[in-house]
Amino acid sequence: MDLDVFVSAHWAEWERLDELLHRRRRLTGAEADELVTLYQRTATHLSKVQSSAPDPALAGRLTSLVARARSAVTGPRKASWRDAARFFAAGFPAAVYRSRHWWVPTALLSVVVAALIGGWIGSHPEVRAAIAAPDELRELTRPGGQYEAYYSSHPAASFAAQVWTNNAQAAAVCLVFGALLGLPVLWVLYQNMLNLGIGIGLMESAGRLDTFLGLLLPHGLLELTAVFVAAGTGLRLGWTVIDPGPRSRRVALAEEGRSAIGMAIGLAAVLFVSGVIEAFVTPSGLPTWARITIGVAAELLFLMYVYVLGRRAARAGETGDVGAADRPDTVPTAA
C-alpha cells in the first residue's frame, strides 16, 4: 500500500471526523449519522495502516481519533448495582466453570504433592531435624502450641482482615501474572503446598494429625479451592500466550485477561468468606465435627454455585468477559 496515496485519499474524511468531534453544539441527526459512518471508516483505515504500512505517527493519530469517536458514539457509561448483580450471578461463576479443566487438575495434583511432602517429612526424622531444632518442633506441635495458637493469636476481626488480604494477594498474583507463561503461578502453588505439607508432616509425626486437620478443614477447603481456581486460571492465561487458538494472540490475551481480572474480584469475595470462617469458626469452642461441617457446607455451596449457575450461564454464552458494550471494537484486518 502506498502510504502517501492512502493519506491523500482519506485525509478529508479524518479532518471531517475531527471537526464533528470538536463541535460544541449538539449534532443534528444527519451529522450524527455522518459521525458514525466516519468512525467506522476510520477504524478500518487504522487496521489497514497497522497491518500493511505501519507508520507510528499516522497510527497514533488514527488511534486517538478512533478512541474519541467511539466515546462520542457509545457515550459515557456508569457501572450500576445491576452490573454487580449480573457479574456475581452469571459472569463470575461462568468464568470459574469455563476454567474447570485447568483448576480441577491443578487442585488434585497440588493436594497429592502436599500429601507426598507431608508423608516424606513425617517418616524421615532427619528431614524434620533440618526444618527446626527438636525443642522448636515440640513447641510447634504440642497441645496449645504454635499451630493451634495461630488461629487465636489476634482479635478475630483483625485476623480475618489479615488472612483475607494475604490470600487475596496470592490469588491476584496467580491471575495477573499468569501471562508470564504461568511461572509465577507455579511458584505460588509450590509455596502453598510446601507449607501445607510441612504442617501435615510435623503434626503427623507428633501423632496429632487429626487436630491439624480439624483446624485446617473448616476454612481450608474453601480457601484452597479459591487458590486453585486462581492458579488454574493463571495457567490457562499463560497457555493462551503459547496457543491463542483461532483468535489473534492480542485479542485472546485481552479477552482472557479481562476475564481473569474479573475473577480476581469474585475470588476476593470467596476468600473473604473463608477468612471469616478461619477467624470466627476455626478457633471457636464448637466441636470439631461442627466446625468441619461448616467448612464442608461452605465448599459445597461454592461448587453448586459454579456447577449450577456457572454451567447455565456458560451455556447461554457468558464468558466472564465484560459486556459487549464495554469491549474494544474489533475491526477487520487486511489480508
| 258 close to 322: Cβ distance less than 8 angstroms | yes
Would you state the pLDDT for residue 335?
39
**In tens digits, what is the pLDDT along the chain, a chain of 335 residues?**
677 788 888 889 989 888 888 877 788 878 888 888 988 888 888 888 877 766 777 888 888 888 888 887 766 555 567 778 888 999 899 999 999 999 999 999 999 999 999 999 999 999 999 998 989 998 888 888 877 777 766 666 666 677 677 777 778 778 777 777 778 888 888 988 999 999 999 999 999 999 999 999 999 999 999 999 999 988 888 888 888 888 777 777 777 777 777 888 899 899 999 989 988 998 888 999 999 999 999 999 999 999 999 999 999 988 776 454 444 444 444 43
Q: How large is the angle between the packed helices 100-123 and 209-242, nearest 10 degrees?
A: 140
pTM (whole model) above 0.85: no
Of the candidates 302, 173, 301, the one whose C-alpha atom is nearest the C-alpha of residue 226 is 302
Copy the grid coordinates of residue 62. 488514527
Of the candidates 159, 147, 162, the one whose C-alpha atom is nearest the C-alpha of residue 199 is 147
* Side-chain half-sphere CA neighbours of 46 within 13 A: 21
Would you state the pLDDT for residue 53?
66
DSSP class of residue 333 equals -
Residue type, 180: L
> How many Cβ atoms are within 10 Å of 166's Cβ, its own excluded?
12
Would you state the pLDDT for residue 61?
84
DSSP class of residue 243 equals -
Rounded Cα distance, 41 and 44, in Å: 5
CA distances to 72, 298, 332 from 69, in Å: 5, 47, 17
* DSSP assignments along 222-276, one per residue: HHHHHHHHHHHHHHHHHHHHH--TTS-HHHHHHHHHHHHHHHHHHHHHHHHHHHH
Would you state the pLDDT for residue 127?
92
Would you state the pLDDT for residue 246?
81
CA distances to 24, 44, 328 from 323, in Å: 30, 23, 10
Would you state the pLDDT for residue 75?
60
